[in-house]
Chain A
Amino acid sequence: MPDTIQPCMVIDETISCSLRQCCSLCRINAQMIHEMIDEGIISPTGDSPRNWCFGASEIKRIQITLRLQQDLRVNLPGAALALELLEKLTALQGRSQNT
Chain B
Amino acid sequence: MKFKDYYQTLDLKKDASQDDIKRAYRKLARKLHPDVNKSHDAEEKFKELGEAYEVLQDPEKRAAYDKFGSNWQAGQDFEPPPNWDAGFEFSGGGFTQTDASQFSDFFESLFGKSSGTSHARGGFHPHEGFQARGQDVHAKIVINLEDSYHGVQKTITLNRPVVDQNGHVSTTPHSITLTIPKGIMEGQQVRLEGQGSQGMGQGKSGDLFLEIAFTPHRLFTIDKRDIHLLLPVTPWEAALGATITVPTLGGSVDLKIPPGSQAGKKLRLKGRGLSSKINSGHQYITLTIVTPEPTTDAQKKLYEQMASLMPMNPRSGLESGSA
Smallest CB gap from A74: residue in B: B30
**Cross-chain contact of A25 among B46, B191, B192, B195 (Cβ < 8 A):** B191
State whether the Cβ of B105 lies closer than 8 Å to any Cβ in chain A: no
CA distance A60 to B33 in the complex (A): 16
- Contact across chains for A11 and B175 when beta carbons are under 8 A apart: no
Q: Determine the chain A residues whose CB is within 8 A of the CB of B179 once the complex forms.
A: 5, 8
- Contact across chains for B189 and A56 when beta carbons are under 8 A apart: yes
Contact residues, B168-209 vs A (CB, 8 A): 175-179, 181, 184-185, 187-193, 195, 209
Range, interface on chain B: 35 or more
Contact residues, B89-109 vs A (CB, 8 A): none
CB-CB under 8 A for A9 and B190, given A3-B176, A72-B33: yes
Q: Determine the chain B residues whose CB is within 8 A of the CB of A64 once the complex forms.
A: 35
**Cross-chain contact of B181 among A10, A13, A25, A56 (Cβ < 8 A):** A10
Contact residues, B16-57 vs A (CB, 8 A): 26, 29-30, 33, 35-36, 38, 46
A-B contact count (CB 8 A): 74
Q: Determine the chain B residues whose CB is within 8 A of the CB of A47 once the complex forms.
A: none
**Cross-chain contact of B177 among A3, A63, A93 (Cβ < 8 A):** A3
Closest chain-B Cβ to A53's Cβ sits at a distance in Å of 17
Contact residues, B55-79 vs A (CB, 8 A): none
CA distance A40 to B38 in the complex (A): 24
- Count chain A CB atoms within 10 A of each CB in B155, B179, B195 and give the residue with the most: B179
Secondary structure call for the B interface: mixed
State whether the Cβ of B276 lies closer than 8 Å to any Cβ in chain A: yes
- Contact across chains for A5 and B136 when beta carbons are under 8 A apart: no
CA distance A93 to B184 in the complex (A): 20
Which residues of B are in contact with A by a Cβ distance under 8 Å? Answer: 26, 29-30, 33, 35-36, 38, 46, 136, 138, 153, 155, 175-179, 181, 184-185, 187-193, 195, 209, 221, 223, 228, 276, 278-279
Which residues of A are in contact with B by a Cβ distance under 8 Å? Answer: 3-14, 25, 27, 56, 59-60, 63-64, 67-68, 71-72, 82, 86, 90, 93-94, 97-98
CA distance A63 to B209 in the complex (A): 10
Closest chain-A Cβ to B115's Cβ sits at a distance in Å of 20
Smallest CB gap from B35: residue in A: A64
- Contact across chains for B189 and A97 when beta carbons are under 8 A apart: no
Q: Determine the chain B residues whose CB is within 8 A of the CB of A90 once the complex forms.
A: 38
CA distance A7 to B188 in the complex (A): 16
Q: Determine the chain A residues whose CB is within 8 A of the CB of B155 once the complex forms.
A: 3
- Contact across chains for B153 and A60 when beta carbons are under 8 A apart: no
- Contact across chains for A12 and B188 when beta carbons are under 8 A apart: yes
Q: Determine the chain B residues whose CB is within 8 A of the CB of A59 once the complex forms.
A: 189
**Cross-chain contact of A60 among B36, B176, B187, B192 (Cβ < 8 A):** B187
**Cross-chain contact of A10 among B29, B36, B188 (Cβ < 8 A):** B188
- Contact across chains for A10 and B190 when beta carbons are under 8 A apart: yes
CB-CB under 8 A for A6 and B136, given A12-B185, A64-B35, A72-B29: no
Q: Determine the chain B residues whose CB is within 8 A of the CB of A12 once the complex forms.
A: 184-185, 188, 276
Closest chain-A Cβ to B198's Cβ sits at a distance in Å of 16
